[in-house]
Structure 1
């Protein structure tokens, strides 16, 4: 049912004549008459009777009137809600982030977003890149920021690559390796290595570098960065992370970086990922733009 016919019906009710109603809706009287006839055809009943002093509602017309008012109110409410979403005054946005970007980038982006658009409900999922990909394709989130190493050839994804931060090895300030020089990867294997789940290519590099010492045997894997930091500061474990992640810890003096030669292959490749060929909602598009702004790509 065309809302134009419904609006014409309401105008005729309020004006009481085709002449006055046609002026209100900016139609000729014959065009308005055809619109009313089409509505009557769709409903299968006559809605108006012509009288000496104009038009009056039939019994069917009187029965239709409250429903017409409700439909017009609902249409106006829908228009206002769509407009509010376009203006980022209301709505909901579901996004995802890997553990490292959550602390190195997304925390700042999310803070700015909720400050500028308080009417948007922001739901943030922190997870590994495999599960975030599934959530994206299942329409549970609109975009996510994570390592793209294993996703660059995925036909279902559109990727905007971000600048890549330096990856550092770090340990407790009083760790035996804290002041050591000439450290190589094999020296790290004397201690537990705590890290998040890493992409397969980085995992292969780690295993290859560890092979001469019999492999990486003392490993702690956890996707919670705060817990990894607590493990490192409370034990002799060593960790590997992008420098921005541990910047505050380094500034506090609780941890220090270890200069390790031969680890250039351990690098991150972060990006913003969304479904290929699917436009983002207004809120998601604005969030995407903010990510690029904070990553200095805009």
Structure 2
């Protein structure tokens, strides 16, 4: 038994096909099949039910899979940490971010990081805070940038706040609401709402304002540019961070909607963006350097727009 066989077994259960798994690995199907058979001979039992078209693992196969995932990831972590313990001229960095930071903060920070460390292979995924948390727990990423309120109370995670991001409602030019002199939240709920996954605090505020038990947007996608495109072609009202849509609003491509009875000073209407990592997990040199760059870019952006966070209070000032 070796790590190569375990990787092949993991691929087989991911693709549920000898042909597709072999193709994904980059070897011939006969060679792939011989490797799986060799693993079964090593354990002295069948690991997959070949009579099942989905190639489901047997109980023994499920146990092997659990250990294989830990062993393969552990080996990867070992290589990763050794390669990046002291140098930033090699290796790979993997992290994640929510859709709001992916618009400006993360691309600007990555550009700065790549200019400083061009030999580090940098990969980041964009997803909801919920899925990023699971990816971090599976060691698929070293850290991520998202709303930290969901992780602050969990001792498994370590959080580092960035500047608070103000939430805004926006629509297309020519939207029917723009003909009204004053807008209430009743007007807002007369149209579809488009947003990424809404934090519980904001969802609770919107549920209370709409008179519902809970609130979910009519259109939900974890990509701000996609949301913007949808809003520009429909009467949907978008929800996002002011930072992400500032340029489009300034250029008149989107219109900032202001509702007179919306609790603007409510903490739940702000995104407490920050960096989330695992407690007790040693970050690579590349990850530490990327986090330093993110903080630099975030603070520079806040200074440029005249926003600052009051220490320990989560207040925002213009």
TM-score by length of 1: 0.68
Is the 1:194–1:232 Cα contact (8 Å) retained in structure 2?
yes
The whole-number CA distance in structure 1 between the counterparts of 2:179 and 2:101 is 29
Q: 2:282 maps to what in 1? A: 279
- 1:149-176 deviations in whole A, cap 9, x for unaligned? 2222111100001111221111001112
Range moving further from structure 2, 262-271 or 118-127 = 262-271
Cα deviation digits, residues 197-242 of structure 1 (max 9, x gap)? 1122221111111117x97687111112121111110011111111
Q: How many aligned residue pairs are there?
A: 217
Q: CA, structure 1 residues 206+277, in 2 after alignment: closer, same or farther (shift >3 Å)?
A: same
Is it true that 1:255 corresponds to 2:254 in the alignment? yes
- Stretches of structure 2 that go unaligned for 5 or more consecutive residues are 1-80, 304-318
SS in structure 2 at match of 1:260: coil
1:269 aligned residue (269, 272, 276): 272
CA shift for structure 1 position 278: 1.7
Q: Distance in 1 between matches of 2:216 and 2:201?
A: 19
In structure 1, what is the equivalent of residue 125 of structure 2? 125
Alignment deviations for residues 59-98 of structure 1 (CA, whole Å, 9 cap, x no partner)? xxxxxxxxxxxxxxxxxxxxxx958762311110000000
Cα distance, 1:130 vs. partner?
Answer: 0.9
Call closer, same or farther: CA 1:86–1:205 in 2, change over 3 Å.
Answer: same
- In 2, distance between residues paired with 1:134 and 1:176? 41
Q: Is the 8 A contact 1:181 1:259 kept in 2?
A: no
In the TM superposition, what are the counterparts of 1:194-233 in structure 2 within 5 Å? Answer: 194-211=194-211, 219-233=218-232
Report the alpha carbon displacement of residue 114 of structure 1 after superposing the two structures with TM. 1.4
* Aligned residue number for residue 90 of structure 1: 90
Q: Summarize the Cα distance change of 1:116–1:171 in structure 2 as closer, same or farther, 3 Å threshold.
A: same
* Match in the other structure for 1:289: 292
CA contact (8 A) 1:178 1:257 kept: no
Return the TM-score normalized by structure 2: 0.64
- The CA deviation at 1:263 is 3.5
User: Which whole-Å CA distance do the structure 2 matches of 1:226 and 1:153 have between them?
Assistant: 31
CA contact under 8 A between 2:203 and 2:215: conserved in structure 1? no
* Structure 1 residue ranges without an equivalent (≥5): 1-80
Q: The residue matched to 2:270 in structure 1 has which SS?
A: coil
**Worse-superposed segment, 142-151 or 244-253:** 244-253
Q: Is the contact between residue 189 and residue 216 of structure 1 (CA under 8 Å) also seen in structure 2? A: no
The 10-residue stretch of structure 1 (251-260 or 151-160) with the greater mean CA deviation from structure 2? 251-260
Q: Equivalences for 1:1-298 in 2 at 5 Å?
A: 86-178=86-178, 180-211=180-211, 219-261=218-260, 262-264=262-264, 265=266, 266-296=269-299
Let me know the Cα RMSD of the aligned residues.
2.3
Change in 2 beyond 3 A, CA 1:217/1:276: closer
- Give the direction of change, closer, same or farther, for the CA distance of 1:205–1:108 in structure 2 (3 Å limit): same
Distance 2:194 2:145 in 1: 22
- 3-state DSSP of counterpart to 2:219: strand
Aligned to 1:52: none
C-alpha distance in 2 between matches for 1:151 and 1:276: 11
Partner Cα separation in structure 2 for residue 166 and residue 277 of structure 1: 31
Partners of 2:195 and 2:219 within 8 A in 1: yes
